[in-house]
Amino acid sequence: MGSELCDLINKNGGQIVVADIDPAVIKRIKKNYPGIKIVSPRTIHRERVDVYAPCAMGNEFNLENISEVRSKIICGAANNQLTATVVGKKMHDQGILYVPDYVANAGGLINAVAHLIKGSHPKSWVKKKVGGIEKTTASLIALSKKSKKPMSEVSDHLAEAIIKKHKNKN
């Protein structure tokens, strides 16, 4: 996921800051993106970037390090990025827009469903559903602003309501 994101940012002229625990990954990234900035995984959250996109390791944000975050948006594919619900509240209070991992990862899940249920969901279905992620995210952002509640909380409530609705159908 991180490499794909680097490709998109690079193709659109953006600056890339990367951290990884695997030296082989760092070597490959340096080769593919000569102008890239490499930093330590322990300090990347302190970098001044427009969007911070954790794409691998979870439990990255906690009450101790969230005040050090320098980006205004956190949106990445790593699972379970917050160590506790209260971290989402602290992000919100600091003015950080946090898009939960399951919102950011929705496209991958939609595509996986299409592959699991062969023939049931053609590429056009996948494209339509993935296209709806932007609208869903915008709705969540608007709801978060209107309710003055963290995106993590608003997203969790919506996801729980959807799951409950589908459980009741079965």
Task: Encode pLDDT of 5-58 as tens digits.
Answer: 999 999 999 999 999 999 999 999 999 998 899 999 999 999 999 999 999 889
Establish if 28 belongs to a structural domain.
no
Establish if 73 belongs to a structural domain.
yes
Establish if 131 belongs to a structural domain.
yes
Rounded to whole angstroms, the Cα distance separating 158 from 46 reads: 31
Q: What domain count does the chain have?
A: 1
DSSP code for 45? G
Establish if 21 belongs to a structural domain.
no
3-state DSSP call for residue 74? strand
Establish if 36 belongs to a structural domain.
no
- pLDDT > 90? residue 132: yes
- pLDDT > 70? residue 158: yes
Establish if 3 belongs to a structural domain.
no
Count of C-beta atoms within a 10 Å radius of residue 39: 14
3-state DSSP call for residue 97? strand
Establish if 47 belongs to a structural domain.
yes
The CATH number of whichever domain residue 49 belongs to comes to 3.40.50.720
- pLDDT > 90? residue 1: no
Quick: pLDDT tens for 64-89.
Answer: 999 999 999 999 999 999 999 999 99
What integer pLDDT is reported at residue 133 of this predicted model?
95
Rounded to whole angstroms, the Cα distance separating 6 from 80 reads: 21
Establish if 144 belongs to a structural domain.
yes
For the CA atoms of 99, 103, 105, 109, what is the dihedral angle to 10 degrees?
Answer: 180
Going by pLDDT thresholds of 50, 70 and 90, the confidence category of residue 119 is low
Mean pLDDT of 145-161: 95
**What phi, psi does 17 have (nearest 5°)?**
-120, 130
Look up the domain containing 128 and give its range.
43-169
